Chain A
Amino acid sequence: MSTPPDVATGRGTLGPLVRPYGDTTGDGMVQVSFTLPLPHDKRAEGAALQLASKMGLAPALLVHAKAMGPDFTFFVVYGSVSHLVDLREVRVVEREYPLLTPAEANQAIRRRLGRKLVVVGACIGTDAHTVGIDAILDIKGFAGEKGLEYYREMKVVNLGAQVLVPELVASAREVGADAVLVSQVVTQKDAHLHNTTTMSAAFREAFPAGQVPLLVVGGPRFEEGTAAALGVDRVFGRGTTPGEVASYLVHELVTSRTTRDARGEQR
Chain B
Amino acid sequence: MSSRPQKLLELDPTVVRRARSLARAAGKPVVDLARAHTTVSVERATLRLAGLTGADHEGTPWVNHLVDAVRAEVGLEHGVTTPVWDALHRSEALDLLTLAQKASAGGVGFRLPDGRDAGPARRSARSAVAAGVRAMDRQRTARERIIAKVGDAPRTPWVYLIVATGDIHEDIPQAQAAARAGADVIAVIRSTGQSLLDFVPEGATREGYAGTYATQENFRLMRAALDATSRELGRYVRLTNYASGLCMPEIAVLAGLERLDMMLNDSMYGILFRDINPVRTFVDQRFSRQVHARAGIIINTGEDNYLTTADAVEAAHTVTVSQLLNEYFAKEAGLEDWQLGLGHAFEIDPAVPDSFRMELAHALLARQLFPKAPLKWMPPTKHMTGDVFRGYLLDGFFNLAGALTGQGILLVGMMTEAVVTPWLSDRDLALQNVRYVMDAASGLTEDFHPPRDGFVQNRARQVLSEAVELLEQIVADRDAGGHPPLLAAIADGTFGAMRRPPEAGKGRGGVVVKADGYDNPATALLEEGTAR
Q: What is the count of residue pairs linking A and B with beta-carbon distances less than 8 angstroms?
A: 51
Task: Tell me if B309 counts as interface (CB < 8 A to partner A).
Answer: yes
26 A-B pairs, CB-CB below 8 angstroms?
A33-B425, A35-B425, A68-B424, A69-B180, A69-B181, A72-B424, A74-B425, A130-B196, A131-B192, A131-B193, A131-B209, A134-B193, A135-B193, A138-B273, A138-B274, A139-B272, A140-B273, A140-B274, A142-B192, A144-B381, A144-B417, A144-B418, A149-B275, A150-B309, A150-B497, A152-B497
Tell me which residues across on chain B come within 8 A of A72, comparing CB atoms.
424
B444: interface (CB < 8 Å): no
Tell me the count of chain B residues lying within 8 A, CB to CB, of chain A: 25
Alpha-carbon gap, A142 to B177, bound state (A): 28
Q: Report the separation of the CA atoms of residues A122 and B417 in the bound assembly, to the nearest whole angstrom.
A: 30
Report if A40 contacts B (CB, 8 A).
no
Q: How far apart are B195's CB and chain A's nearest CB, in angstroms?
A: 9
- State the CA gap A130–B272 with chains docked (Å): 18
Is the CB–CB distance between B428 and A146 below 8 Å? no
Q: Which residues of B contact A231 (CB under 8 A)?
A: none
Whether B272 lies near A74 (C-beta < 8 A) is no
Chain B residues, Cβ within 8 Å of A152: 497
Restricting to B265-280, which residues have a CB under 8 Å from any CB of A? Answer: 272-275
Residues on A with C-beta less than 8 A from B181 are: 68-69
Report the Cα distance A31→B375, complex, angstroms: 39
For B417, B424, B497, which residue has the most chain A Cβ atoms within 10 angstroms? Answer: B424
Nearest chain B CB to A183's CB is how many angstroms away? 11
Interface string of B413-442 (1 = CB under 8 A from A): 000011000011100110000000000000
Smallest CB separation, A74 vs chain B (Å):
5
Contact check, B273 vs A160: say whether CB atoms are below 8 A apart: no
Query: Known contacts A134-B193, A134-B196, A139-B496: does B423 contact A35 (CB below 8 Å)?
Result: yes
- A interface, CB within 8 angstroms of B: 33-35, 66, 68-69, 72, 74, 129-131, 134-135, 138-140, 142, 144, 146, 149-150, 152, 158, 160
Q: Are B498 and A139 in contact (CB under 8 A)?
A: yes
Write out the residue numbers on chain B whose beta carbons fall within 8 Å of the beta carbon of A129: 193
Option from A34, A74, A130, A150 in Cβ contact (under 8 Å) with B428: A74
Which residue of B is nearest A220, CB measured?
B209
Within 8 A of A (CB), among B473-499: 496-498
State A74–B274 Cα separation when bound (angstroms).
39
> In the bound complex, how far is the Cα of B177 from the Cα of A245, in angstroms?
38
Is B506 part of the binding interface, using a Cβ–Cβ cutoff of 8 Å? yes
Let me know if A68 and B496 touch, CB within 8 A. no
- Beyond contacts A131-B192, A138-B275: 15 other A-B pairs, Cβ-Cβ < 8 A, are A34-B425, A35-B424, A66-B428, A69-B180, A69-B181, A129-B193, A130-B196, A131-B193, A138-B274, A139-B273, A144-B381, A149-B275, A149-B498, A150-B309, A158-B275
Q: How far is the CB of B345 from chain A (nearest CB, A)?
A: 14
On chain B, the residues within 8 Å of A33 by CB distance are 425
**A-binding residues in B (CB < 8 A):** 177, 180-181, 192-193, 196, 209, 272-275, 308-309, 381, 417-418, 423-425, 428-429, 496-498, 506
Please name all residues of chain A whose beta carbon is closer than 8 Å to the beta carbon of B308 when the two chains form the complex: 146
User: Which residue in chain A gives the minimum CB-CB distance to B194?
Assistant: A131
Please give the distance in Å from A133's CB to the nearest CB on chain B: 10
Q: Return the chain B residue nearest A143 by Cβ.
A: B418
Distance in Å from the Cβ of A110 to the closest Cβ of chain B?
Answer: 15
Give the residues in chain A near B272, CB-CB below 8 Å.
Answer: 139
Identity of the chain A residue whose Cβ is nearest the Cβ of B305 in the assembled complex: A140
* Complex CA distance for A33 and B426, rounded to whole angstroms: 11
Chain B residues lying within 8 Å of A149, measured Cβ to Cβ, are: 275, 498
What is the chain B residue whose CB lies nearest that of A137?
A: B275
CA distance A74 to B431 in the complex (A): 14
Q: Which of B180, B309, B424 contacts A146 (CB 8 A)?
A: B309
CB pair A69–B192 under 8 Å, yes or no, is no
Q: How far is the CB of A132 from chain B (nearest CB, A)?
A: 9
- Write the nearest CB–CB distance from A136 to chain B, whole angstroms: 12
Give A34 to B429 CA distance when docked, in angstroms: 12
Contacts of A150 in B (CB 8 A): 309, 497
List chain A residues, Cβ under 8 A from B274. Answer: 138, 140
**How long is the Cα–Cα vector from A152 to B496 in the complex, in angstroms?**
11
Complex Cα spacing A60 to B309, Å: 44
Once bound together, how far apart are the Cα atoms of A131 and B180, in whole Å? 34
Find chain B residues with CB under 8 A from A74 CB: 425, 428-429
- Residues of chain A with a CB closer than 8 A to B196's CB: 130, 134
CA distance A33 to B425 in the complex (A): 9
- B275 cross-chain contacts in A, Cβ below 8 A: 138-139, 149, 158
Give the CA-CA distance A149 to B496 in the complex, in Å. Answer: 11
Cross-interface CB contact of B177 among A66, A69, A146, A160, cutoff 8 Å: A69
Chain B residues closer than 8 Å to A144, beta-carbon distance: 381, 417-418
Docked-complex contact B428 and A139, CB < 8 angstroms: no
Q: Which 10 A-B pairs have the closest CB atoms?
A: A131-B193, A68-B428, A140-B273, A74-B425, A35-B425, A144-B418, A139-B273, A131-B192, A35-B424, A139-B498
A178 to chain B, nearest CB (A): 20
Cα–Cα distance between A68 and B209 once the two chains are bound (Å): 27
Q: Which residue of B lies closest to A129 (CB)?
A: B193
Closest to B419 in A: A144
- Chain A, Cβ-Cβ closest to B192: A131
| CB neighbours of B423 from chain A (8 A) | 35
Complex CA distance for A146 and B308, rounded to whole angstroms: 9
